[in-house]
Amino acid sequence: QAEKDGLSGIRYFDTAVLDELTRELHIEKELQEALTDFSFDLNFQPQYDAKEQKLRGIEALVRWKGQDGIPISPLEFIPIAEKNGSMVSIGGWVVEESIRTFSIWKKKYDLNLILSINISSGQYREDGFTERLLGILKKYGINPEELELEVTESVLFEDFRTAVEKMSVLKDYGIRIALDDFGTGYSSLSYLKGLPVNTLKIDKELTDGILKDLNTGIMTESVIAMAKKMGFETIAEGVETKEQLIRLKELGCDYIQGYLLGRPMSGEDIEQLLK
């Protein structure tokens, strides 16, 4: 098309790319407004023991609706917020709000559970992250041992040593660390050795393929076996069928999270479950 119009250098006019850019700009603009009145929300998804299906903890997941009231997935807006620097304040809100809410439930229902919070790499790298976190825990009376931070391996990319040192400090305080989405991306086995993390979260991609694809099955089996020997706990993400649950249990996976046992839900709904 463009060639015909004589636009040299541009070989074709890709409307999909333009649509994507327009959407990104739109989200960026709405995010800025959302930041002033903090129109974010939290959902919570339960994590269960694979054997007895006892509640282990809950993962806080951020929710956001655009001005038209249509939810925008964190998978879409978080990368944009990371790029323009607003993820640090959104993430800061998630941390305080989820700990505050968790502390209310803890007192009300005398809970002994873990609160999992996803931490973006920009947020993790911020100076004073650990100190602020410890301050918030203290403010709401939550023990460091009750908190698990979910980070992806992307926190390790920029400056591996500094990132690991930070993990060690967090771990020394008793805060738990989970490596999220494990088994995708570059997940190399060599860096895992000696990493101060408590938990490996086996990505949904592995869970999905566990019974469908021979190699994925082999990989998941190996990851769980290795994690066990290295002393990491394992949580499988995105478990949707009973067959997957049975297989994961056979392989020795410790915990299960997914639509089969519980979807992400509002605070009111999770309270019904905690009662």
Q: Residues interacting with Mg ion, by CB under 5 A?
A: 118, 150, 180-181, 237
Q: Which of Mg ion, ligand C2E, none does residue 46 bind to, with CB < 5 to 8 Å depending on kind?
A: none
Q: How far apart (Å, rounded) are the C-alpha atoms in residues 67 and 271?
A: 28
Q: Which residues pair with 48 in a beta bridge?
A: 55, 256
Query: Where does residue 120 rank: exposed (0-12), middle (13-18), buried (19+ CB within 10 A)?
Result: buried
Please report how close the Cβ of residue 18 comes to Mg ion at its closest, in angstroms. 29
Token digits of residue 271? 């309270």
Stretch that binds ligand C2E, among 15-23, 116-124, 128-136, 171-179 (CB under 6 A): 116-124
**Residue 56, Cα to own-chain centre: how many angstroms?**
16
Q: Count the site residues for ligand C2E by CB under 6 A.
A: 23
Q: Which of Mg ion, ligand C2E, none does residue 259 bind to, with CB < 5 to 8 Å depending on kind?
A: ligand C2E
Q: How far apart (Å, rounded) are the C-alpha atoms in residues 227 and 234?
A: 7
Q: Which of residues 197-256 bind ligand C2E (CB under 6 A)?
A: 237-240
Closer CB to Mg ion, 233 or 237, in the complex:
237
Please report how close the Cβ of residue 39 comes to Mg ion at its closest, in angstroms. 22
Q: How far apart (Å, rounded) are the C-alpha atoms in residues 33 and 114?
A: 33
Token digits of residue 28? 């960026």
Token digits of residue 275? 């009662």
Q: Which residues pair with 65 in a beta bridge?
A: 71
Please report how close the Cβ of residue 11 comes to ligand C2E at its closest, in angstroms. 35
Please report how close the Cβ of residue 184 comes to ligand C2E at its closest, in angstroms. 10
Pairing outcome for strands 255-256 and 147-151: unpaired
Q: Is the dihedral of CA 114, 120, 122, 125 positive or negative?
A: positive
Token digits of residue 135? 């301050």
Please report how close the Cβ of residue 203 comes to Mg ion at its closest, in angstroms. 5
Q: Which of Mg ion, ligand C2E, none does residue 262 bind to, with CB < 5 to 8 Å depending on kind?
A: none
Q: Which of residues 57-96 bind ligand C2E (CB under 6 A)?
A: 60-62, 73-75, 78, 91, 94
Angle, CA of 263, 228 and 173, to the nearest 5°:
75
Binding ligand C2E (rule: CB under 6 A), the pick from 46, 57, 183, 264 is 264
Token digits of residue 145? 């041992």
Q: Which of ligand C2E, Mg ion, none does residue 183 bind to, with CB < 5 to 8 Å depending on kind?
A: none
Q: Which of ligand C2E, Mg ion, none does residue 94 bind to, with CB < 5 to 8 Å depending on kind?
A: ligand C2E
Closer CB to Mg ion, 150 or 221, in the complex:
150
**Could you list the residues that contact ligand C2E (CB under 6 A)?**
45, 60-62, 73-75, 78, 91, 94, 118-120, 150, 180-181, 237-240, 258-259, 264
